[in-house]
Every structure is written in structure tokens, then in C-alpha cells.
Amino acid sequence: MLILAPMQGLTELMFRRAYSQCFPGALDSSVAPFVSLTHGNCGGREQLEDILPERNEGSIPVIPQILGHELEEFVRMADCMGDLGYTEVNWNIGCPMRRIAAKHRGSGILPYPDEIREVLDYVVPRIKPRLSVKMRLGHRSADEIIDIIPILNDYPLANVTIHGRTGKQQYGGSVDKERVFKAASMLKAPFIYNGDICTAGQWSTVSGRWSAISGKTLAGVMIGRGVLYDPTLPLKIKGIEGDYTEMTRQFVTTLYDAIERDFPHDIPRLRKMKEYWCLVYKSLPVSESAARAMLRLQEIKDFRKAVELAVRCVPAQGDLSS
Ligand SMILES: Cc1cc2nc3c(=O)[nH]c(=O)nc-3n(C[C@H](O)[C@H](O)[C@H](O)COP(=O)(O)O)c2cc1C
């Protein structure tokens, strides 16, 4: 099972729709970027816009995600998601952003196992959808997970995703796979692996290692940046062959068309296109310097033309890198 990781600002519905249009069935599932319990109006329509079933029809199947630990709001939000038809909601206890973690939200709750138990004790028996968890090894230390797993094991969780970094590491440094596997082998719930899967080889190493350690297959592998760097990665993992460069080119075009349609003004449109470009150019036949030079273009039409030419291996406006 290949699952698209939630990435705030990147893997919202527009991306998921464009993706499933170009690569139907390549990703089996996705987790939506988090809905925070701190913004009041819990379960209000605009907070749930991204996961409204009618808007997600035909797109990658999606599981909503909740960030926060406010007990009553959590239950209310999970039930609003349940009322929309979702049978699983995911609890984010991995977000490392400082201002979030400082309030014991996201990875900030990991050093406090009692607080995790308090949330699970209150929430799990009260909500209609099943709860799954997405976490890191810890916030300050990669050992924190050792005290958390026995707590998770006391609840009938749908699954647990582990990203092999600490919150303090943010997204830098390397993933500690062995620690992930050690923790996961103590886990009762189905285990989903996450972190730094950017090639089919990395996927097969991780899958093989887990089978060797546990005698089981992974319940899933969740991939974030790997899909943004190379949208054809799920096809490569699944052994689906084709002209990957052409497929990526078509995907970029579909995504950029969607951005032009969905964003109201040129400045945010161009900003969004550049955000994706910074990631996806890595799998296209364009040099690092040319790709970076394109980020200096100020007009959408110039930028899109340069992208179009760059991916066809034609230098745009002479050599942009010079
Ligand atoms: C820009 C950005 C936004 C993210 N937003 C979320 C989020 O909303 N919820 C979440 O659980 N994780 C979020 N993550 C973490 C990813 O889901 C994932 O765990 C992390 O990127 C590691 O996986 P990867 O190496 O496959 O990218 C985010 C990561 C990035 C870089």
C-alpha cells in the first residue's frame, strides 16, 4: 500500500486531483494535511473544504488528519469527519514546527506519554471513526517512542505511521530506520513506514528489512517529498513502465493548469508554481542552475514557457543559467 504523506501547502486537493488524473491508482491512499483544533469553529465547512467527499470524488482516497489535543474539540472534529463518511481519522503527533510543538501539539506531546494516554482515553471510545496515529521517534530524543508504544498498544488503533526523525531534527539529518523498526516491532497496530523514500530501491530496502525483522509485510509506506521530487516514483515502485519524463511533464502541465484555475491572482499562482518547481525539477532533464534561474522569472507566462522548454531539453531564452 502506497500512501501520499500529508504536506501542508503541497498535497491539498488540487495536487491530489491532478495526481490521480495523470496517475490513476498509482497511490492507494493519502492523508490530508492537518486540520488544527486551535482555530475555533471546529468542524466548520471551510476547515473541512479539502476533505469534502463531493470534491474528492475520483481523486486519491483520503484520510483526514487532526492536529491538537483539546479533548472535546477533538471528539467534535472527528465526528464531523465521521459524518462526512470517513471511517478513519489520523492524529498528527509528529508536526515539529516550534510554535506548535511548544504547546504540546504535534511532536511536542511526545515527551509527555501521560498526555498521549489522556487524549486516547478520552477520544477513542467516544468517536465514530477509527483513530490512526502519525508520529516521530520523539521530540527531543529518539528514545521517547519506547515509552509511547505500550500506551498506543492499549487502544484499537487503525494503524500507526512512524517517521524516523525527532521533532528537533525537523526534516534534516538522516532517518533512523533501525530505531523505527525496533519500535514498530513492539507495536500491536499495523505499521506504516515513513521518511526519505525517494527511489524504488529505498522502498525495497525498507520493505525487505521489515520483513526480515518481523516476518510481516509493511501495512504501508507513506511517501511525501519523494512523490514531489519524482511523481512517477509510485509507478516505479509498482513496476509500471513508461516514459517517465513525459509522464512527469504532463503532470506538471496538469498541476500548473489547476493552479491557474484555482488561484485567484498571478502573484500567489506564480509562488505556488515555483514551490512545486523547486521539488519536481530534480526528476526532469534540466540542470540545477537553469532550474534555479527560472525561479527569478516574474511573469507566469515566462515561467510556464521556460518550464515547457526546459522539460523538452530546449534552453529557454538562451542559457538561463548564465
Ligand atoms: C512542507 C511540509 C508540510 C508537512 N505537512 C504535514 C502535515 O500537515 N501533517 C503531517 O502529518 N505531516 C506533515 N509533514 C510531514 C510529512 O508528512 C512526512 O512525514 C515527512 O515529510 C517525511 O516524509 P518524506 O521523507 O517522505 O517527505 C509535512 C512535511 C513538509 C516538508
pLDDT, position 310: 78
Same domain? 259 vs 211: no
Same domain? 205 vs 59: yes
The 10 Å Cβ neighbour count of residue 295 is: 15
Same domain? 153 vs 281: no
Same domain? 179 vs 290: no
Average pLDDT of the chain?
94
Residue 316 falls within a domain, yes or no?
no
Residue 38 has pLDDT above 80, yes or no: no
- With cut-offs at 50, 70 and 90, classify the pLDDT of residue 108: very high
Same domain? 11 vs 159: yes
Residue 317 falls within a domain, yes or no?
no
Residue 322 falls within a domain, yes or no?
no
Domain boundary among 211, 236, 261: 236
Calculate how far, in angstroms, residue 318's C-alpha sits from the geometric centre of ligand 1: 37
Distance of CA 146 to the CA centre of its chain: 24
Residue 224 has pLDDT above 60, yes or no: yes
Residue 140 has pLDDT above 70, yes or no: yes
Calculate how far, in angstroms, residue 315's C-alpha sits from the geometric centre of ligand 1: 33
Residue 319 has pLDDT above 90, yes or no: no
Q: What percent of the chain has pLDDT over 70?
A: 95
pLDDT, position 41: 61
- Residues within 6 Å of ligand 1 by CB: 5-10, 33-34, 65, 92, 94-95, 134, 163, 171, 194-197, 223-226
pLDDT, position 40: 61
* Contacts of 255 by beta carbon, 8 Å cutoff, 6+ apart: 14, 15, 18, 19, 276
Residue 317 has pLDDT above 70, yes or no: no
User: Residue 192: helix, strand or coil by DSSP?
Assistant: strand
Where helices occur in the chain by DSSP H, the ranges are: 13-22, 53-56, 71-83, 98-101, 113-123, 144-152, 177-184, 200-214, 225-229, 233-237, 244-262, 266-280, 288-294, 300-311
Same domain? 225 vs 278: no
- With cut-offs at 50, 70 and 90, classify the pLDDT of residue 46: confident
Domain boundary among 191, 212, 236: 236
Which range marks the domain in which residue 219 is found? 2-236
Number of structural domains found in the chain: 2
CATH number at residue 129: 3.20.20.70
Calculate how far, in angstroms, residue 11's C-alpha sits from the geometric centre of ligand 1: 9
Domain boundary among 219, 236, 253: 236
Q: Note the pLDDT tens digit of each residue in 211-220.
A: 999 999 999 9
Same domain? 276 vs 195: no
Same domain? 166 vs 294: no
The residue-averaged pLDDT of 173-195 equals 97
Same domain? 199 vs 257: no
The 10 Å Cβ neighbour count of residue 313 is: 10
CA Rg value for the chain: 20
Cα 200 from Cα 270, distance rounded (Å): 31
211 in Cβ contact with 217 (< 8 Å): yes
